[in-house]
Amino acid sequence: MADRSVAGLPRARGHDDCYPWLSSGITESGYESPAMEGDGLRPPRRPLGHLVTDPGRLRGVLTPSTTTLNTNAAHLGLFDEGQPPNESLAERMMRAAKAGKLGKGEKVGLRERICCFRWTWFTMTMATGGIANVLHSIPYKAEWLTAVGLAFFFFNIFLFLTNCVLISLRFYWKPGSFVDSFTDQFESLFISSIIVSTATIFITICQYGIPNTGSWLLSTMEAIFWIYICVSTLSSASLYLTLWSTQVFPIHTMTPVWVFPAYPLLLSAPFGANLISAASKTGRLSQVNTIPIAIAALTVQGTGFLIAFMINAAFLYRLMTQKLPRDHQRPGVFISIGPSGFTAAGIVSLGTLAKEIFPADFMGTPHTAVILKLMAYMAGLWLWGLSIWFFLVSVGSLWKYLMPEKRSKFEFQMTWFSFVFPNTALVTATEGLGIAFDSHGLKLFGCVLAGCIVLVWVLVFTRMLKCLWDKELLWPTPKERGLSADDADDN
């Protein structure tokens, strides 16, 4: 059998069996990259053969000769003059992967940049629509606040349409890329972000549109609600089946991003509650079927929450056995806030509307609405507390990046919008509970959170624009351009 190699480094036979953590590549996203040196995992104790023992060179890599290793590793940029002598293999491989990006001075056309567009860009519209939702949920109303919310609402529609056009161009210009996106280990997890983005648009239409238009929009949104329920359920099941049929996700690579295919289910209750609320505010409750909408919303919401709850249990197991995720995975930790936050916000809103939804003699009990309202508020408190706990864990996982020497490792990715969207669920749940219990403290706390989340959105969006300008986003690698490493160097 011929010798095999990883990243151009020669290895002896049987190396994959002895050192499987070296045979897997480092993905640019980081969510699926397997355990590497320094992650707390230890390789099996096997005879190592000839090792590079110089701390200034690669450590623990089986190689036929030091000279060959030095030549190949230097060509890949795995070490050079002046680099830290104790730099780990994982850090060197990551640096080599970054070095594989085309230089900023290279001539890359607009078409090539658009072909780099990914499903992850819809996290931007999820976050922007979430901000419009947050501003509407603030109990202290003002005209300027409504105007800002409307600005985010229309801006989100513009961003969503832009994303749809760009990703369609990518699929058109790169035949086969649409199917490939369903089998890509990272990108496939974010396909559902387009459905979640549409849900945020529908929710904000109920909030900002229905009260200011005729009854036709209310009837339209009711029909869209039932379509959304069907699409979200089928898409979630289909995406998970596709992942389970084509991908393997080891537990040590686990982050809450595994929940993402179930996220469309988690906006069912907020959608239904806002639809019924809009009908109530406009005096058109008789125009919609409130009971079927509420029951369907609760059913689908509960399904999504239970799926997410089980996946979050796996995430806690991963934290106990593998420590916190790597630097580029940390934004994904915030995704764990969303399931409990959206569920709390949805059921509390439906509980508040219980008297409008259910008739006085529903199920033969005169106090059905009051009982359901009380149950919704109590369950909402439990879930709100869970989302607060995950929020504290998520924020705490970022504490080390306050140090300047660690900040350089925290590079921007589109998954940074995870700092925004899941937290919008926490804000709306806080405001909903404040209204439910008439608690000024919770209302003020929700307003503070709302201000903070808007500021975070501004910072993340500004950083995204800067990375686009600096050619750090939508910039092809030599592999994506069909170039070899030597060709890329010649360019």
Distance, in Å, from the CA atom of 127 to the CA atom of 414, rounded to the nearest integer, reads 11
DSSP 44: -
171, HSE (Cβ side, Cα atoms, 13 Å): 13
Measure Cα distances from 13 to 16, 64, 70, 73, 338 in Å: 8, 11, 20, 19, 46
Measure Cα distances from 384 to 71, 133, 221, 334 in Å: 56, 18, 28, 15
Tokens of 217: 């929009």
Q: Which of 460, 394, 429 is nearest to 124 (CA)?
A: 460
Q: What is the pLDDT along the chain (491 residues), one digit of tens a residue?
A: 444 444 444 444 444 443 333 334 434 444 443 334 344 444 444 444 444 444 444 444 444 444 444 444 444 444 444 444 444 444 544 554 454 454 555 677 888 889 899 999 999 999 999 999 999 999 998 999 999 999 999 999 999 999 999 999 999 999 999 999 998 888 889 999 999 999 999 999 999 999 988 889 999 999 999 999 999 999 999 999 999 998 888 888 788 889 999 999 999 999 999 999 999 999 899 899 999 999 999 999 999 999 999 999 989 988 898 888 877 778 888 999 999 999 999 999 999 999 999 888 888 778 888 999 999 999 999 999 999 999 999 998 888 777 776 666 677 888 899 999 999 999 999 999 999 999 999 999 999 999 999 999 999 999 999 999 988 888 887 666 655 444 544 44
Taking each helix axis as running N to C, give the angle between helix 440-469 and helix 122-137, from 0 to 180 degrees, rounded to the nearest 10.
150
Measure Cα distances from 321 to 90, 204, 318, 324, 386 in Å: 19, 41, 5, 9, 22
Torsion over CA of 22, 28, 34 and 37, rounded to 10 degrees?
60
Question: Quick one: CA dihedral 270, 273, 276, 277, positive or negative?
Answer: negative
Q: Provide the total of helices (H) and of strands (E) in the chain, helices listed first.
A: 19, 2
pTM, two decimal places: 0.77
Residues carrying CATH 1.50.10.150, the chain = 117-469
At a CB cut-off of 8 Å and minimum separation 6, what does 211 contact? 278, 281, 282
- H or E element at residue 295: helix 290-322
CATH number of 117-469: 1.50.10.150
